[in-house]
Chains A and B, each alone.
Chain A
Amino acid sequence: MEERIRPTAAATVPLELDALYEAYADMIYRLALVRTRNRADAEDVLQDVFFRCLRRQPHFRDREHQKAWLITAAINSSKSLLGRADRRHGVGPEALEFLSTEDDTDNSVYNAVMQLPEKYRTAVHLFYYEGYSVEEIGKMTETNPSTVKSHLHRAREALRKVLKEDEPDV
């Protein structure tokens, strides 16, 4: 399975849905969830990204290139979904109630990140979870690297504040 999606030097990499899904579904879904804060929307983004990839069959230099392409596609897809008229009207705070994971341990940080503004959430996720550099995030989100830096800085400040407030009094 892994072999089928490993890119070669040749121009076209054959892509299959199940192989793509196995390799990247978790990654795209997590990013989409961070951006949309809604499971159903995250699933829509996941499907949109994979279908887009299958339709276009882009030429990937290597696996990293493919991964970056999928992340950029996920960002764009969720951006258009978030901008849709029905979505603008439709997602209120109650959507957040459905985000809690089954296991409550260690969720405070995740939930705190989810309370951040959308651009901070994306930067935090790509930097801390996916391990991309500020420059790489800048390219993916079409943002100046210094802006990404400032987003990360503000996000850290906000998180520090929120998590401190949540700490129980000793």
Chain B
Amino acid sequence: MFEQQYKRANDRIHPRKDLLKEMEAKWAEEQAHQEEEESKVVAFPAWAKYVGMAAGVLLCVGLGMGSVLLYSRSRGMQSKSASAAAEAPQMAESMVAMEEAKIVTATTADAAVNETEAQGVAPAEAMLAASPYEAPKGMHRAADEAEVEDALHYGFADRGEAEDSVEAEMDAPQAKAAAKAVEADYPVGQILTRDELMVVFLPTTDQVRVIQYANRRVNLVFSLGLRERGAKVEQLFWIGSEMLALREHAGDTELMRFDVTDWKAPKHRKNLTQSGTFLGAGELDGRLYVLSLYKATDQEPRPWVNGERIDFADVLLDGERPGDVYTVLTVYDPAQGEFVSQTALLLEAQGAEAMGDKLFLWTGAEAALYAFTMGEEGLTLTAERALPGAVAEAAAGDSGLTLLLQTGDGATLLTMDGELNETSSVAAQAGSIRCGQVFEDGAAFLTDSELYWLSPAGDRALEVTGDGLRRLSEDKLLVFSADGKMQLVSLAEDALKALGAADVRNDMALLLEDPSRMDYDPATRRLVFPAGQRVYQYRIDEAGEMALWGTPLIFADHNETEQRELRCRVTAEGTLVFYKSGVHVCNQILERQLTTKY
């Protein structure tokens, strides 16, 4: 009886359907990487062989010995390719820069942990030992001869200096081992921070990792798996003492609640659900607004919340418009632990913005805009209007709602108050919007050939091509393009003015895919971003000139996947923090550079 029941229960368990596809993609990636590595390793011995043969033909003992020496040196370099040797002068500069900045890549951390392993300490114990306040034992070792040779080859003046540099890197501080301990193999999604805690969401596995960052060290506080078959986590929030995860589960939207009063032991509280696919969510005044889209069926004509149909009284626009798609809006109050308001609107919203007690919703199909007041009794429709174009970008601020619209003949910036009265409108004959951003004081967008700035004062344009933009300060805008160029533009002039430009000549596409990889510190006017294998630091002077700051830091041992996962941040204390796969790869102070260079 027991066996049969256990067997039946097991027979129903299967891995999720898309897992094979994910694994195939990863395997293909691993194989491609391996092939690339193999081709590098093979190339050098072949070359050395020819040198050896030539030496043999010449029957020159001295030359033969030279080639043997050269060959053994190449063996010392192991898998570092011949192309790396060709880049030696550049690498030398970078190594010096890394040494100055005390930047140590993940490889060094690996070496440290592996060394601990070699000394008979289990890796897991080594990782645990690497707690933020306790140095792991046995992490220091003498410089290895081959590594010193490498360091010499990369340009250190003498053997003593090279040995010092290798030992300095190997004498890994605890932070590196701690970073290793919390490493994951998946890219980072959302990151929430508060004080010294950081919540990292890994969308590939639906895992949430809470990392503590204190005293320049990192430590994994908690890791929580949110994966369930048929479910996908969409967004995380951290309100008061609750961590809230919104996910789509079997076509409905679910709010998962975790009491994180004690971060080391989060408690899962009862989930709340509402019908329909997840549309969006936002936090306002300590409350969470959750929107979902529900398509009515004959069996279930009305949307529901927590299993109960929404009252007719709470369904707005019902019967007045055609359509069977509802936008369901709930308001969750963490203090009460439940939805305090639930409303359904018979319209298919495309986006929403909230401002004070106002909620704005717009549709895509008929391009209409609705304003609601959110009160204790729920939502009240206060205004509605048609829009002259589709909403490209939107932002709500103190002055009202600002929309960047793509119209038939160009773009329009509309600013409206809470009752949807137009306070300003700027139109530009600009063609199609490639990318744009809306701010409280205006909107910037790029077309195929121009950068536009639309504000209540009028519109201004500059002939600049680009694929992405970011506002660095009130009067400066950065435009970057996939061909590796960055251009700084001043918004302070009557006409937009190009200030400085920089040629990164690297994989800027990574930044375009994810602009959050770039960080700007207004205090030191430092612009930091990883592109390709390098981490660039630029400094913008008061006149707006943009100059490369120091030598790019090279993460030469990173493969392509890792490059795509690398991000960096400048912290308030001037530290550069690197994230890879959800953790800090390293965090080191660059004060020396700060003080010596500026």
Give the contacting residue for A89; candidates B2, B6, B15, B220; CB below 8 A: B220
Q: Give, as a whole number of angstroms, the nearest-CB distance from A124 to chain B.
A: 8
CB neighbours (8 Å) of B245 from chain A are none
Number of B interface residues, CB 8 Å? 47
B3 and A128 within 8 A (CB): yes
Say what secondary structure dominates the interface of chain B: mixed
Given A21-B23, A25-B15, A85-B220, verify A101-B268 contact (CB < 8 Å): no
A128 and B15 within 8 A (CB): no
Q: Give, as a whole number of angstroms, the nearest-CB distance from A162 to chain B.
A: 11
Given A40-B205, A85-B128, verify A90-B10 contact (CB < 8 Å): no
Give the contacting residue for A108; candidates B5, B7, B130; CB below 8 A: B5
CB neighbours (8 Å) of A41 from chain B are 225
Residue of B nearest to A36 (CB): B225
CB neighbours (8 Å) of A124 from chain B are 6
Interface string of A67-93 (1 = CB under 8 A from B): 000000000000010011111111110
* Chain A contacts with B in 96-147, Cβ cutoff 8 A: 97-98, 101-103, 106-110, 113, 124-125, 128-129
* Chain A contacts with B in 142-170, Cβ cutoff 8 A: 159, 163
Q: Does B30 contact A (CB under 8 A)?
A: yes
* Chain B contacts with A in 15-46, Cβ cutoff 8 A: 15-16, 19-20, 23-24, 26-27, 30
Q: Give, as a whole number of angstroms, the nearest-CB distance from B439 to chain A.
A: 39
B182 and A26 within 8 A (CB): no
CA gap between A17 and B31 in the complex, in Å:
12
Interface string of A29-63 (1 = CB under 8 A from B): 11001000011111110110011001000000000
By size class, the interface of chain A is: 35 or more
Give the contacting residue for A29; candidates B13, B207, B228; CB below 8 A: B13
Q: Give, as a whole number of angstroms, the nearest-CB distance from A59 to chain B.
A: 21
Given A86-B223, A89-B223, A90-B222, verify A109-B2 contact (CB < 8 Å): yes
Give the contacting residue for B15; candidates A38, A43, A87, A95; CB below 8 A: A43
A94 and B223 within 8 A (CB): no
CA gap between A102 and B249 in the complex, in Å:
12
A83 and B124 within 8 A (CB): yes
CA gap between A86 and B6 in the complex, in Å:
31
Binding site for B on A (CB under 8 A): 17-18, 21, 25-26, 29-30, 33, 38-44, 46-47, 50-51, 54, 80, 83-92, 94-95, 97-98, 101-103, 106-110, 113, 124-125, 128-129, 159, 163
Those 10 A-B pairs whose CB atoms lie nearest each other, nearest first: A90-B223, A110-B9, A94-B268, A85-B127, A109-B5, A40-B225, A83-B124, A40-B227, A29-B15, A85-B181
A-B contact pairs, 7 of them (CB 8 A): A17-B23, A29-B14, A30-B10, A44-B205, A47-B23, A88-B124, A94-B267
